Amino acid sequence: AKRMPKVKGLDQTLTVLKEGYEFIPNRTRKLNTNVFEIRILGGKKAVVISGKEAAELFYDNDKTERAGTLPKRLVKTLFGKGAIHTTTGDKHKNRKSLFMSLMTDNNLEYLRKLTRNYWFEDTARLQAMDQTNVYQEATLVLLKIGFRFADVPFDTPERMEQYAKDMNAMVDSFGSIGTAYTGYRRALNARDRVEDYLEKQIIATRKGKLFPEEGSGLYEFSHWKDMNGKHMDSRLAAVDLMNTIRPLVAINRFISFGVLAMHEYPGERARVAQNDNSYAYKFAQEVRRYYPFVPFLPGKAKQNITFEGYKIDKDTMLILDIFGTLHSESLWENAEQFYPERFENWDGSPFDLIPQGGGDYYTNHRCAGEWMTIIIMEETMKYFAREIQYDVPPQDFTVDRTKLPGQINSGMIIENIRNNFDRR
Ligand code: HEM
């Protein structure tokens, strides 16, 4: 076997945190390789793999194990104790079928309607604001869409605002990749608050005091029985119900990036505004490909494996390069250009467009909410392109790729928002 390229040094964790999304691409380019070895998280050996073949390996359940590879702190803040993300084998497939059972055509159509309606309804609020931070406003609108889709009753307006902030605190915690950081305590408190509220709704549903609609998350997570015929523990049900709402709120990131793209790239806003949905679809896909969100994912070799002629020993940590794969010149022509039309002839491969993981929805850990994300993006972008007019004041539009998590420095500010039709 060939000798694997290595990054020198005892531990690269701090360098990863310093270079952010560019850490892996910087090295795959310099070493001219799709695979290299590093040491991270306390000097542990890890093999970084990048590209479409890497994703195929990573989502081969015989070769790659995912369970037990997420940093413990990250499980506590981002996903929750016992979350589906941490399960494996039959237990994972069984629980995943619950998540996927929510993704019927009818339910997704309902989500589309909710998205359209909540944004449309929000126009009055936007008109009354001096300036709107799109990222922040989207957080609250998405929380309402998420609760309503799950048929979770709204709490008081103050608490809804609090939960919206809480969701961001949990999502932001991935920027620490599980190391010590100042927001840890805050993210734990945020999680407790939202889990408490959701667990109460689950208990009330089970006691017959609350009647969510069949097909909603609250109904299905409350009543679902696993392969052993058991209901989920109420706290665990709350954790995984939240795993359908928190990531939905995280679409605030793609929304602010999308509004930025419509501002920065000539003609995009007008094309998204077209009647036909097909451009909005391509635009949503390109936003998910182009802008930085998930940097990489951890796993470990389940057996001795070979990748591109290199040997990887059983139990070696594997790191799948997400951001670099989405920006690979060999997979995406002019990868650094924002170009939605590239999706006109895309073959739909499960291994190249992997901003939300790859492989199969039912048997791999691929994101259960990918279709939801695309629908919410399509409808939200059409809202910003067609339903309202606004001005974009000077601000710092920088998206710093060395900072995790990815965000627009200004948050994306718009002002002078008005209805986009003539009522006379
Ligand atoms: C898993 C990203 C939205 C629910 C994942 C994974 C990623 C991801 C990277 C892990 C893939 C892997 O480990 O192989 C995102 C991004 C989103 C998003 C960037 C948009 C902001 C959503 C939404 C839902 C959702 C709207 C709502 C249902 C889940 C669940 C899992 C998951 C339940 C765990 C699946 C499993 O372990 O089998 N997501 N996601 N996500 N996502 Fe999303």
Per-residue pLDDT at 209? 98
Residue 254 located in a structural domain: yes
Average pLDDT over residues 226-253: 98
Name the residue range of residue 117's domain: 13-419
Distance separating alpha carbons of residues 140 and 137, to the nearest angstrom: 6
Q: Which residues line ligand 1 (CB under 6 A)?
A: 84-85, 96, 99, 243-244, 247-248, 250-251, 254, 293-294, 297, 355-357, 365-369, 372-373
Ligand 1 atom 24, closest CA: 369
Instruction: Give 239 Cα–ligand 1 centroid separation in angstroms.
Output: 14
Counting other chains too, the contacts that 312-316 makes at CB distance below 8 Å and 24 or more residues apart are 312/47, 316/45, 316/46, 316/47
Residue 4 located in a structural domain: no
CA 365 to ligand 1: nearest atom: 38
The string of pLDDT tens digits covering residues 226-236 is: 999 999 999 99
Instruction: Give 99 Cα–ligand 1 centroid separation in angstroms.
Output: 11
Instruction: Give 251 Cα–ligand 1 centroid separation in angstroms.
Output: 11
Instruction: Give 369 Cα–ligand 1 centroid separation in angstroms.
Output: 6
**ipTM for the assembly:** 0.99
Distance separating alpha carbons of residues 24 and 12, to the nearest angstrom: 11
CA 358 to ligand 1: nearest atom: 14
CA 96 to ligand 1: nearest atom: 38
Per-residue pLDDT at 71? 93
CB 366 within 8 A of CB 301: no
Q: Which residue has the higher pLDDT, 421 or 250?
A: 250
CA 373 to ligand 1: nearest atom: 26
Interhelix angle 251-264/370-382, rounded to 10 degrees, is 40
CA 309 from chain centre, in angstroms, equals: 32
SS3 309: coil
Average pLDDT over residues 58-78: 96
The string of pLDDT tens digits covering residues 153-183 is: 999 999 999 999 999 999 999 998 888 888 9
Count the domains in the chain: 1
Distance separating alpha carbons of residues 155 and 159, to the nearest angstrom: 6
Per-residue pLDDT at 359? 98
CA 288 to ligand 1: nearest atom: 19
Instruction: Give 85 Cα–ligand 1 centroid separation in angstroms.
Output: 9
Residue 225 located in a structural domain: yes
Structure tokens at 299: 């796993």
The string of pLDDT tens digits covering residues 349-394 is: 999 999 999 999 999 999 999 999 999 999 999 999 999 999 999 9
Distance separating alpha carbons of residues 268 and 283, to the nearest angstrom: 8
Substitution site in 97, 367, 371 for ligand 1 pocket (most atoms within 8 Å of beta carbon): 367
Sign (positive or negative) of CA dihedral 169, 202, 221, 114? negative
Ligand 1 atom 42, closest CA: 367
DSSP letter assigned to residue 213 = P
User: What backbone phi and psi angles, to 5 degrees, belong to 277?
Assistant: -80, -10
Distance separating alpha carbons of residues 52 and 376, to the nearest angstrom: 26
Residue 374 located in a structural domain: yes
Distance separating alpha carbons of residues 246 and 143, to the nearest angstrom: 8
Residue 109 located in a structural domain: yes
Distance separating alpha carbons of residues 312 and 305, to the nearest angstrom: 5
Instruction: Give 206 Cα–ligand 1 centroid separation in angstroms.
Output: 27
Residue 409 CB neighbours (<10 A): 12
Residue 64 CB neighbours (<10 A): 21
Residue 7 located in a structural domain: no
Task: For the chain, give the mean pLDDT.
Answer: 97
User: What backbone phi and psi angles, to 5 degrees, belong to 317?
Assistant: -65, 135
Q: Residue 159: give its domain's CATH number.
A: 1.10.630.10
Ligand 1 atom 18, closest CA: 247
Residue 98 located in a structural domain: yes
User: What backbone phi and psi angles, to 5 degrees, belong to 301?
Assistant: -65, 125
Residue 5 located in a structural domain: no
CB 295 within 8 A of CB 20: yes
